Amino acid sequence: MSEEQKPEVKPATTDADHVSIKVTDGDSDIHFKIKKGATLKKLMDAWAKRQGKDVSALVFTFEGITLTPEHTPEDLAMENNDIIEVYRHQSGGYVC
């Protein structure tokens, strides 16, 4: 093979580059393995789709922090087997 025909070589990824996260709403759990530097948008969308729910009606939290799709596991110092909790977004309330 000439230099022009060499296949593109991607850097090897290891388990150290990924984190396993459990996402739960109290009724069901789904485990995801994602890259530490990847945004949580795909995880949120995938969880909502598997549960048949609209992602815009959900709130994802980790250790009391409300997550945004732009957060990454690295930003949040997530480790293997950490848990993201999911709640239905509630609006309204009663004002005296």
pLDDT > 90: percent of the chain:
75
Tokens encoding 14 = 């290891």
Residue 81 sits in which domain range? Answer: 17-88
In a domain, 24, yes or no: yes
73 and 36 Cβ atoms separated by less than 8 Å:
yes
- Could you tell me the two tokens for 40? 């949580």
- CATH code for the domain in which residue 47 is found: 3.10.20.90
Domain presence at residue 96: no
User: Tell me, what's the pLDDT at 5?
Assistant: 62
**Separation between Cα atoms, residue 33 and residue 1, nearest integer Å:** 36
Nearest to 65 by CA among 57, 76, 54, 74: 76
Q: What is the pTM of this model?
A: 0.79
Our measurement of the distance from residue 93's CA atom to the centroid of its chain's CA atoms, rounded to an integer in Å, reads 29
Q: Is residue 1 part of a domain?
A: no
Going by pLDDT thresholds of 50, 70 and 90, the confidence category of residue 84 is: very high
Residue 84: inside a domain, yes or no?
Answer: yes
Residue 83 covered by a domain: yes
Residue 2, domain member (yes or no): no
The total of structural domains in the chain comes to 1
Residue 47 lies in a domain: yes
3-state helix, strand, coil in the chain (%, to 5): 20, 30, 50
